[in-house]
């Protein structure tokens, strides 16, 4: 099998070299900085599968914050199974860890959906170096949970008419969701994730990033194969149904992929998923994205019946996301718009 996969990858490399002069999509793929894989699926069938930078179909890609969206799917499964509610107060699950620093009404009112929509009262913003909850402040600690539970809350903090607070991108909040699942899911988070989602999708290989004390980083760093990320995308495209089995109820998928907050980037934000309109010559295509540092994107386009995986290692570089968006628009245009 390994030999076959390598042969297949070599075929695409040779095909790309031949097509580069006439295929603008492949030329753009080759020019995309540090692109490691591309998988485009239409109606569940692969249309394009390319690899670069020494990667192949067995490579486990560190797609960074794409992990957050995987966590959202596990949370949705837990809601479906009655293990959590959207309005579950998160800090109630950590009574054994009390007392918390900065405890109070605002902290105790934080719900599962507050963390999913990046609108909780935690004073946590990864986009501000000065934020107490910036994720870089978490990693030096042996216990990421203790550090997260002790975070201060934002002052002032107010919910709007929708019941949500202001948007602030917070990896620590997604880590806290993982710790909540670790306590509520039978057998713990990883076993539950495998049983409920990965095993039915025949996803057998992955690697979680962990703290020094063994805590799973559910906010980033889950390494997965391109085709397995494509299965998650296709599950969403099929509204939670996989080979006739309802893994996630359609109404839960609809809730995960519904705009909860607007963001400073001009994108919509659902439950740890981003929404963006991708421009093509034949009209805009609304896409829901798992997105991560480096320009990593896993996206579904419900109206077009398409999904894609784009992995890159262009970490912490200016314009990395914009490069990926521009490439995806070219790709969609080539597939959907008549010449």
Q: What would the pLDDT profile of 139-185 be if each residue is shown by its tens digit?
A: 999 999 999 999 999 999 999 999 999 999 999 999 999 999 999 99
Residue pLDDT, tens place only, 101-137: 999 999 999 999 999 999 999 999 999 999 999 999 9
Instruction: Find the DSSP H helices in 53-170.
Output: 66-80, 105-108, 112-116, 144-149
* Residue that wins the pLDDT comparison between 22 and 209: 209
Q: What is the structure's pLDDT at 339?
A: 58
pLDDT above 90 coverage of the chain, percent: 93
Question: Between the CA of residue 12 and those of 28, 35, 43, 174, what are the distances in Å?
Answer: 15, 14, 22, 37
pLDDT band per the 50, 70, 90 thresholds, residue 215: very high
CB atoms within 10 A of CB 248: 22
Every domain of the chain and the residues it spans: 2-64+224-336, 84-183
HSE toward the beta carbon, residue 279, CA cutoff 13 A:
2
Mean pLDDT of 315-320: 98
State the Cα–Cα distance between residues 259 and 268, nearest whole angstrom: 6
* Residue that wins the pLDDT comparison between 13 and 56: 56
HSE toward the beta carbon, residue 188, CA cutoff 13 A:
6
Q: What is the structure's pLDDT at 52?
A: 98
Q: Is the pLDDT of residue 11 over 80?
A: no
- DSSP-assigned letter for residue 135: G
Task: Give me the CATH code for the 2-64+224-336 domain, please.
Answer: 3.40.710.10
pLDDT band per the 50, 70, 90 thresholds, residue 22: low
Q: What is the structure's pLDDT at 338?
A: 72
pTM of the model: 0.93
User: Peptide bond preceding 99: is omega within 30 degrees of 0, i.e. cis?
Assistant: yes
- Residues 309 and 327: beta-carbon distance below 8 Å: no
**Beta strand 223-224 pairing with 206-207:** antiparallel
Q: What is the structure's pLDDT at 16?
A: 41
State the Cα–Cα distance between residues 63 and 67, nearest whole angstrom: 7
Task: Give me the CATH code for the 84-183 domain, please.
Answer: 1.20.58.710
- Residues 57 and 5: beta-carbon distance below 8 Å: yes
Mean pLDDT rounded to a whole number for the chain? 93
Q: Is the pLDDT of residue 19 over 90?
A: no
């Amino acid at each position: 099998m390994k030999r076959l996969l390598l042969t297949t990858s070599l075929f695409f490399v040779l095909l790309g070299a031949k097509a580069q002069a006439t295929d603008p999509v492949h030329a753009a793929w080759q020019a995309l900085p540090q692109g490691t894989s591309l998988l485009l699926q239409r109606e569940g069938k692969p249309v394009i599968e390319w690899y670069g930078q020494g990667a192949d179909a067995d490579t486990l890609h560190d797609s960074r914050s794409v992990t957050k969206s995987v966590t959202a799917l596990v949370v949705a499964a837990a809601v479906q199974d009655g293990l959590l509610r959207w309005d579950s107060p998160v800090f109630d699950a950590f009574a054994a860890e009390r007392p918390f620093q900065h405890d109070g009404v605002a902290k105790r009112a934080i719900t599962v959906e507050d963390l999913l929509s990046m609108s909780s009262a935690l004073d946590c913003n990864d986009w501000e170096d000065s934020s107490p909850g910036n994720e870089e402040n978490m990693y030096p600690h042996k216990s990421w949970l203790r550090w997260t539970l002790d975070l201060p809350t934002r002052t002032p903090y107010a919910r709007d008419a929708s019941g949500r607070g202001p948007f602030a991108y917070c990896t620590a909040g997604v880590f806290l969701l993982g710790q909540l699942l670790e306590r509520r899911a039978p057998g713990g988070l990883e076993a539950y994730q495998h049983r409920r989602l990965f095993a039915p999708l025949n996803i057998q290989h992955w690697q979680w990033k962990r703290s020094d004390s063994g805590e799973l980083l559910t906010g980033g760093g889950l390494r997965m194969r391109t085709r397995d990320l494509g299965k998650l995308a296709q599950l969403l495209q099929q509204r939670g149904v996989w080979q006739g089995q309802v893994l996630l109820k359609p109404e839960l998928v609809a809730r995960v992929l519904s705009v909860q907050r607007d963001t400073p980037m001009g994108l919509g934000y659902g439950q740890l998923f981003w929404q963006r309109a991708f421009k093509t010559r034949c009209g805009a295509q609304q896409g829901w994205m798992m997105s991560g540092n480096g320009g990593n994107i896993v996206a579904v386009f419900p109206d077009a019946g398409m999904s894609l995986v784009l992995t890159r290692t262009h970490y912490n570089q200016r314009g990395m996301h914009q490069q990926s968006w521009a490439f995806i628009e070219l790709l969609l245009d080539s597939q959907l718009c008549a010449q």
